[in-house]
């Protein structure tokens, strides 16, 4: 399914397709694919998008909305000609993704202290509240604020999901370092327990800022950036996290107003290990990504108009394959500029985290 909605906003559909094709070009260079191999992967990816959109254009609205691409079906449809040994490895990765739930997160991120599960400290990535602040008064103040955030967030859930969440009790929060694309934003994780220690739930509370796309597309129709993220995810994903919601803090710990969205920390999330892929496997993955993106656009956009624009020929495919390589060239120049800035002392970088 589609993921990573921090910058989601209604905009030109081709931006997403360009980004997808460019991602495979950049990854292909990192892996060591030849120019011909990278072009083959890009063409396969964009062609899958175009053909899927053509099929969606022929469907009724409900057919599009309920369209699914089960992982097992994707393995069959998009992996013809791939070495059986590599297919076996891919299936193992799929099985592993199905273990990525709250129980797996619980076993990896907690330890017992006086008989009670507590979040393991792993600074600077994860720091429990009791280590983050030195005094009990400070910790109590932060915990009260987090509870207010969670109480407000509950109101954005459907009644049945709110009822389910109320079956869990809040145990402990911890600050979590966010990914590169969200540097500078606040993020917390919160441990909840249900009936017993075998019934855990981890929620992530992540700050949402205005989308970088608003500079080009205009201000979001959603007054809350967290709601923008949630709305985009619910619209474009076939199946969204049942606990995804949003909230607003008018005066946070630093006295500033902030928007947040909340989701499960682990929810059967898995991904293809592109770093170890061979060209046929990367092309198969690209086809699955192309189909999935087309389904998201068919749900959220004008699928008939998009399909008509793309047509039946491979003109669009070839144009985006060229764009992908041009973008990858720029990506390398940007990376070299960053390295030069680090070497010159203008930028401080820390590796190995």
Mean pLDDT for the chain? 88
Say if 26 falls within a structural domain. yes
**Which range marks the domain in which residue 257 is found?**
102-264
Say if 213 falls within a structural domain. yes
Q: pLDDT band for position 335 (50/70/90)?
A: very high
Whether pLDDT at 155 is above 90: yes
- pLDDT of 217 reads 95
pTM of the model: 0.86
Q: Based on the domain organization, do 200 and 138 belong to the same domain?
A: yes
Say if 1 falls within a structural domain. no
Say if 161 falls within a structural domain. yes
Q: Based on the domain organization, do 67 and 91 belong to the same domain?
A: yes
- pLDDT of 196 reads 87
Say if 353 falls within a structural domain. no
Q: Based on the domain organization, do 131 and 109 belong to the same domain?
A: yes
Say if 56 falls within a structural domain. yes
Q: Based on the domain organization, do 234 and 277 belong to the same domain?
A: no
Higher pLDDT, residue 192 or 99: 192
Whether pLDDT at 45 is above 80: yes
Number of domains in the chain: 2
Q: Based on the domain organization, do 40 and 91 belong to the same domain?
A: yes
Distance (Å, rounded) from C-alpha 15 to C-alpha 267?
28
Q: Based on the domain organization, do 147 and 237 belong to the same domain?
A: yes
Q: Based on the domain organization, do 130 and 235 belong to the same domain?
A: yes
Q: Based on the domain organization, do 124 and 206 belong to the same domain?
A: yes
224-232, Cβ contacts within 8 angstroms, sequence gap of 24 or more: 224/248, 224/259, 225/259, 226/259, 226/260, 226/261, 226/262, 227/156, 227/259, 227/261, 228/8, 228/9, 229/5, 229/6, 229/8, 229/261, 230/156, 230/261, 231/8, 232/5, 232/8, 232/9
Alpha helices, H only, 112-262:
129-132, 136-154, 159-165, 214-217, 225-236
Whether pLDDT at 79 is above 70: no
Per-residue pLDDT tens for 189-231?
999 999 888 899 999 999 999 999 999 999 999 999 999 999 9
Say if 123 falls within a structural domain. yes
Q: Based on the domain organization, do 206 and 318 belong to the same domain?
A: no
Q: Based on the domain organization, do 208 and 147 belong to the same domain?
A: yes
Distance (Å, rounded) from C-alpha 60 to C-alpha 62?
6
Q: Based on the domain organization, do 113 and 253 belong to the same domain?
A: yes
Whether pLDDT at 2 is above 90: no
Per-residue pLDDT tens for 261-305?
999 987 555 566 777 788 888 998 899 999 999 999 999 999 999
């Amino acid at each position: 399914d589609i993921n990573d909605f921090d910058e989601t906003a209604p905009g030109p559909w081709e931006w997403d397709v360009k980004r997808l094709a460019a991602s495979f070009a950049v990854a292909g260079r990192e892996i060591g694919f030849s120019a011909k191999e990278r072009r083959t992967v890009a063409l396969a990816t964009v062609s899958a998008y175009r053909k899927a959109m053509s099929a969606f254009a022929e469907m009724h609205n409900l057919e599009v909305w309920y369209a699914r691409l089960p992982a097992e079906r994707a393995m069959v449809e998009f992996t013809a000609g791939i070495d059986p040994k590599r297919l076996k490895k891919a299936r193992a990765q799929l099985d592993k993704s199905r273990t990525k739930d709250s129980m797996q997160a619980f076993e990896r991120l907690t330890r017992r202290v006086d008989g009670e599960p507590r979040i393991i400290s792993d600074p600077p990535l994860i720091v429990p509240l009791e280590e983050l602040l030195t005094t009990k008064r400070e910790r109590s103040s932060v915990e009260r604020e987090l509870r207010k955030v969670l109480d407000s967030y509950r109101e954005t859930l459907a009644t049945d999901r709110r009822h389910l969440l109320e079956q869990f009790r809040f145990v402990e929060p911890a600050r979590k370092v966010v990914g590169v694309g969200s540097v500078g934003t606040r993020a917390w994780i919160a441990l909840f327990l249900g009936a017993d220690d075998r019934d855990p739930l981890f929620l992530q509370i992540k700050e949402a800022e205005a989308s970088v796309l608003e500079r080009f597309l205009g201000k979001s129709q959603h007054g809350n950036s967290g709601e923008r993220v949630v709305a985009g995810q619910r619209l474009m994903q076939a199946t969204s996290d049942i606990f995804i919601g949003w909230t607003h803090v008018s005066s946070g710990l630093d006295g500033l107003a902030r928007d947040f969205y909340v989701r499960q920390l682990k929810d059967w999330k898995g991904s293809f290990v592109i770093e170890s892929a061979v060209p046929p496997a990367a092309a198969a993955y690209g086809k699955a990504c192309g189909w999935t993106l087309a389904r998201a656009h068919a749900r959220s956009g004008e699928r008939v108009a998009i399909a008509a624009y793309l047509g039946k020929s491979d003109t669009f495919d070839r144009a985006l394959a060229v764009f992908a390589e041009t973008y990858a060239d720029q990506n390398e120049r940007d990376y070299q500029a960053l390295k030069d800035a680090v070497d010159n002392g203008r930028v401080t970088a820390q590796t190995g985290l």
